[in-house]
Structure 1
Amino acid sequence: MYRQGDVLLEKLNSIPERSTTNETLLVRGEGRNHGHFIKGEAVEILVADENELTDGGGLVTQYLNVESEAALEHLLIDSREWTQEHAPIVIPPGKYRVIKQREYNPYSKAIRAVRD
């Protein structure tokens, strides 16, 4: 497993069939111009199609197919410059599920994504 801020990558043996996307942003930060990006030569990001349900917390499930070493980086969204808030993490080849940290409010019984 690899964690950076509110993003956790869980290694898997296989990935279910999904649609691919060219977007490299995994999670956007709250109210600021930054996010967690995956960068690499041979990285495929897979997402559920529009008709599939989310993970129960309102978050669309994402998967990564990393064929050669990649990096999980915390960057400014507009310029793609490093924020220096989180150090880059090297991600070895493999298949991963992207887990976005959630928080639960027992008073409103609401589940929402944690924003870094």
Structure 2
Amino acid sequence: MKTFKIRAAQGELYIRRVGDLPKNRGIPSGYTELSREDGKLIVGHSGTGHYHVLDGPACSVAVMDRPPEGMRILRAVVESDTPLVHLRDHDTHEPIMFGPGEYEIRVTREYDPYEKLARQQMD
């Protein structure tokens, strides 16, 4: 399992540690709490069901309400070691361990010059 101190990436996700556990663990202004699906926090969706998930009970994630066009920006507060897992049986990304702290997770975007459209990149 991979570990990191400041930055990491998994598929279309870019992860940046922004600090230690915040004193106020509430939802930041301009964000909405992400609901769990089957007990997991899906931070990276996939059209084929091969999601990227924070797999543990000791974390919370909120989604930015108005991100720039084509982006998805999340804030995660992780209370104890929690892995980011790619739900795929083959050709999968190695899990990344998140230590306690606060993180920003961005779903990268791509620009289509023919459609003049920015959209989320898919893994």
Q: TM-score, normalised by structure 1?
A: 0.77
Q: Does the CA-based 8 Å contact 2:72-2:106 persist in structure 1?
A: no
Instruction: Tell me the matched-pair count.
Output: 106
1:66–1:94 Cα contact (<8 Å) kept: yes
- 1:40 paired with 2:53, answer no
Q: CA–CA distance in 1 between the matches of 2:108 and 2:73?
A: 12
| Deviation at residue 60 of structure 1 after TM alignment | 4.0
Q: Which runs of 5+ in 1 are unaligned?
A: 77-81
Cα distance per residue 1:24-70 (max 9 Å; x no partner): 1111113x12110001231111123xxx42x2223343110011111
Q: Say whether the 8 Å CA contact 2:70–2:109 is kept in structure 1.
A: no
TM-score by length of 2: 0.74
Can you give the 5+ residue segments of structure 2 that lack an aligned partner in the other structure? 1-6
Alignment pair present for 1:29 and 2:42: no
Q: Percent identity?
A: 28
Structure 1 residues 84 and 62 mapped into 2: Cα distance closer, same or farther (>3 Å)?
same
CA RMSD of aligned residues (A): 2.1
